[in-house]
Amino acid sequence: MHGIPFALKDLYDTAGIRTTSGSQVDIERVPTEDATTTARLKAAGGILLGKLAMHEFALGGPDWTTPFEPARNPWNLNHITGGSSSGSGSSVASGQSMGALGSCTGGSIRGPASLCGIVGLKPTYGRVSRFGVVTLSWSQDHAGPMTRTVEDTAFMLQAIAGHDPRDPTSSHAPVPDYSRSLREDIRGVRIGLPRHYFFDDDPGVNREVVARVEQAVSVLEELGAHVEEVTLPSLDYVRAANSVIMVSEAFAYHEPNLKTRPQEFGEIVRGRFRIGGLMSASDYLQAQRVRTWARRDFAQVMKTVDFLVTPTMTQPAAAFEGFDPMSTTRGKSFTAPFNVTGLPAISVPCGFTESGLPIGMQIAGKPFDEPGVIQAAYTYQQYAGWHQLNPAI
């Protein structure tokens, strides 16, 4: 990455540079050392351009009651970017940075990537260190790259992946050469489609999004992949488990400041954190039981297929006008299942709505099969060519 400019979601610690997490609470916080990922990107020769806007503490929505205005979508400045890695999606899509790091607890890398028309990878849980990354939900947080192309994602992942003794969840699994995955070949690959959750008619799911992803799946078939329908009964419960675990762990982390400095939190995140305070031990344990079930459920299905392919998001980017931040907490989530299970998942552009808003396809794989996920995404990208289009700004 020598000489390549990158930017950071503003919850990655940077020595001597403010790390605010998008909140008045941390507006004057200046870390004394870099996050492990920050340090690794620098050691690989990357040049830090700056820190990026984000939803407050990685859970608030677009909120004008926080110190920084919400990031705007380069494809339509009147529309949101998705979150919580909002500035990461916007800066990469607009060409302000070659790549950026986001964080992902329920979809905060893949969501903005999909809505902004770029690539975003949530690695396997434990693949990338989270030391020096401000916590939202320690058992579901992931760190990962957001870039214009799959190859750039591979290069950034190469720089940041690997064991870190300062992160107790960091894996000792060896780090492969991800550049070897940049090959156009998915012949014989087995792809599972969980239609009952991701593709079937649902009033909360945009049919234009589903249609574009169906077209992308047809392309994968043309390129030699075998596609079959799979069933995952746990999917109907995973969104709730993700939310309960997230707000419970977030409240535990932020409780001291919520008690002593509540007025410094933005309206949206303050409300969401307080919901976490209402959760009981029984709620949390039930959510963890669902998580255990989901991991077993997904592991069983992944014995029969190599990848799962789905839409990344249920909707294209919404307009700021009339947007209800609480709408993101209702209905289905197409990204949360892979935070709950910890499986690697990437979003790659697969087209646009009739109004010109980007749509992403999600490809998820087996634990630590980032090479396979990258190769499948790269093969599709090179054939489809959506990454070559740029917003007119």
In this predicted model, what pLDDT tens digit does every residue of 304-363 receive, in sequence order?
999 999 999 999 999 999 887 766 666 789 999 999 999 999 999 999 999 999 999 999
The pLDDT score that the predictor gives to residue 325 is 75
Fold of 5-388: Amidase signature (AS) enzymes (3.90.1300)
Task: Tell me how far apart the alpha carbons of residues 361 and 380 are, in angstroms, rounded to a whole number.
Answer: 10
Q: Which of 21, 23, 84, 248 is catalytic?
A: 84
Annotated catalytic residue within 90, 94, 108, 243: 108
Return the residue matching tokens 């060409």: 95
Domain extents in the chain: 5-388
Three-state SS string over 94-158 comes to CCCCCEEEEEECCCCCHHHHHHHCCEEEECCCCCECCCCECCCCCCCCEEEEEECCHHHHHHHHH
Identify which of 127, 125, 106 has the alpha carbon closest to the alpha carbon of residue 40: 127
Residues for the chain: how many in total? Answer: 393
User: What is the C-alpha to C-alpha distance for residues 292 and 242, in angstroms, rounded to an integer?
Assistant: 12
120 in Cβ contact with 102 (< 8 Å): yes
Ranges of residues in the chain with a pLDDT under 50 are none
**DSSP, res 319:** B
**9 catalytic residue (yes or no):** yes
Where does the chain show beta strands of DSSP type E?
5-9, 47-52, 99-104, 119-122, 142-147, 190-193, 226-229, 307-311, 345-352, 358-364
Give CA–CA dist 151/116, Å, rounded.
18
Which pTM does this prediction carry? Answer: 0.97
Reply yes or no on whether 21 is catalytic.
no
Examine the residue annotation and report whether 84 is marked as an active-site residue of this protein: yes
